[in-house]
Amino acid sequence: MVDLDFWQDLSDYCNFNWRGKFSDAEIRDTAELYQEEWMLSIKKHILSITINNVLNNLRKDRANGSDEAEKYIIEILRNCDKHQIKYE
């Protein structure tokens, strides 16, 4: 399920793997931003630019062999389909 816990986990992943060097508070803020963008995506039925950018970065990680990135991609896309959200 794509909820705040999911976005928190993803924000931790992004910070570590993309060398964000964010504080715990900044990681929480990022997770909340992702959650807000996700809710907007559900409302508009189109993936927000922010989440689309995250998804594209995850795809790059997957291409470099990241199984963890694949897990996040699958969950986001599965939920896009569930909520009829258009994505690239």
- With respect to residue 87, please indicate whether it lies within any of the assigned structural domains: no
Does 88 have pLDDT greater than 90?
Answer: no
Residue numbers of the domain that contains 34 = 4-82
Nearest residue to 70 via CA among 83, 60, 84: 60
- With respect to residue 22, please indicate whether it lies within any of the assigned structural domains: yes
- With respect to residue 42, please indicate whether it lies within any of the assigned structural domains: yes
The count of structural domains within the chain is 1
pLDDT digits (tens, 9 = 90+) for 6-58: 999 999 999 999 999 999 999 999 999 999 999 999 999 999 999 999 999 99
- With respect to residue 11, please indicate whether it lies within any of the assigned structural domains: yes
pLDDT digits (tens, 9 = 90+) for 46-72: 999 999 999 999 999 999 999 999 999
- pTM to 2 decimals? 0.93
Contact 46/88 with Cβ under 8 angstroms? no
Alpha helices (H) in 1-88, listed in sequence order = 4-17, 24-44, 49-63, 67-82
